[in-house]
Amino acid sequence: MGNTVRSFEDDLYALRDRITIDKDSLDEEITKQPQLCYDAGELLANINNERDAIKEDLERLESQIALDLRDKYDREQEKYTEKSLRSEVLLDDEYRALDRKYATYKGLSSRVAVLQSAFETKTRMLAYLARLYVSNYYSDPTVTSRESEVEEARARSGRRAASQMRKRGDR
C-alpha cells in the first residue's frame, strides 16, 4: 500500500483546486476534464484499497487480542464474557491507534467521493456552458446603424418635448 494520509490529502487538495471552471478557457477545461475525472476515481480507489487493508488488519488484531485474552483468562482460570473481552479489545492501545487510522481513511474516502461527484457535476456544467457559447450567449450584442439612428431620433424627440414643456411652464 505505502501511501500516507498526507500524500492522499495533498492529491485531494490538488484536485479540489481544479473544480472551478474558467469560462474564458472552455476548450482547455473540456479537454482536461476526462483526466481530472480519472484522477479523482483513481484516488478514490487507492484510498479505498488502503482503507480496506487497514480494516482487515484491524479485524485480525481484534481476533488476536481476544485470543490472547482468552488464553490468559483460561490459564488463570478466570471467568470472562465475550462482552468483557470486546471491551478490553476496544481499550487496547494498538487497536485504538489502528481504529483511528481506519476512521481517518474512511473520512478521506468520503471526501474524495464528494470530490468525484463535484467533477461529474463539472462535466455537466461544461456541456451547458459549451451550449451557451455555441448559441452566442456570451457574445457582445452589436447594434445595427439603423437601430442606432432610431434610438437617437427618439432621444432627440424626447429632449425637444421636455424643452417645450419647460418653456410653457416658464410663462
Angle at 76 between CA 74 and CA 79, to 5 degrees: 60
pTM for the model: 0.72
Q: Percent of the chain at pLDDT above 70? A: 91
In whole angstroms, give the CA distance from residue 42 to residue 44. 5
| pLDDT number for residue 140 | 60
Low-confidence ranges of the chain (pLDDT < 50): none
Q: Which triple of cell numbers denotes residue 89?
A: 479489545
CB 126 within 8 A of CB 30: yes
Q: Cell numbers 495533498 label which residue?
A: 10
| pLDDT number for residue 157 | 84
